[in-house]
Amino acid sequence: MPELIRLALEHLEAMPPSTWLRRSGTLYLLVNAAHIGAIGLLIGSIVPLDLRLLGVIRSPHLAVLAPVLARTAAAGLGLALLTGALLFSVRPQEYLQNPAFVVKMGLLLAGTLNAWLVHRGRAWTGVLDGGSPADGLRLQAGASMLLWLGCLVAGRWIGFL
């Protein structure tokens, strides 16, 4: 690992939140539980939305369902990123050496980029206006499910390596 990165990670590990989490089993437990809850919120929102976009679920109407589930997934993602960063700060060098963590971060980045592209596209605007999902949007919904579920599996994999 390059010296500058190692020093930055040591600095991160020495910051007060990291120290508090290492010293308090209860605080670590609560942040970890919040992380799991956030992941549940994200996956629990994105999977039904993706299934609806794919046509596996036929109702309710996408114009009603999509904005609510998208905002809920975004809130889950935001909370997962915050709590995940706190958990990472406890042992950053160990996490970066864990292949499952690296895979999870790649999938997280790809899933977030996919979601951003979906919401920037005309097909998403068309869905919100009451239209049917275009084939490209269906493809993105399928990719979304694979990326987020892969991220979930990779996250669980971290503890086994």
Question: In the predicted model, what is the mean pLDDT of residues 103-114?
Answer: 98
For 39-53, what is each residue's pLDDT tens digit?
999 999 999 999 999
Distance, in Å, from the CA atom of 34 to the CA atom of 1, rounded to the nearest integer, reads 31
Task: Return the SS3 of 13.
Answer: helix
CB 133 within 8 A of CB 57: no
Distance, in Å, from the CA atom of 149 to the CA atom of 146, rounded to the nearest integer, reads 5
Kindly give, in sequence order, each residue whose CB lies less than 8 Å from that of residue 64, ignoring residues fewer than 6 positions away. Answer: none
Distance, in Å, from the CA atom of 152 to the CA atom of 113, rounded to the nearest integer, reads 16
CB-based burial label for 75 (10 Å; 0-12, 13-18, 19+): middle
Distance, in Å, from the CA atom of 99 to the CA atom of 104, rounded to the nearest integer, reads 9
For 60-82, what is each residue's pLDDT tens digit?
789 999 999 999 999 999 999 99
- Nearest partner of 49 among 154, 153, 140, judged by Cα: 140
- For the record, the structure tokens of 21 come out as 């989490």
- For the record, the structure tokens of 97 come out as 């050496």
Q: Determine the pLDDT at residue 25.
A: 92
CB 159 within 8 A of CB 133: no
More confident residue, 105 or 1: 105
Q: Is residue 4 predicted with pLDDT exceeding 80?
A: yes
- Nearest partner of 52 among 42, 62, 38, judged by Cα: 62
For the CA atoms of 41, 149, 87, 117, the dihedral, rounded to the nearest 10 degrees, stands at -80
CB 21 within 8 A of CB 86: yes
Q: Determine the pLDDT at residue 143.
A: 98
For 111-157, what is each residue's pLDDT tens digit?
999 999 999 999 999 999 988 899 999 999 999 999 999 999 999 99
Q: Determine the pLDDT at residue 135.
A: 92
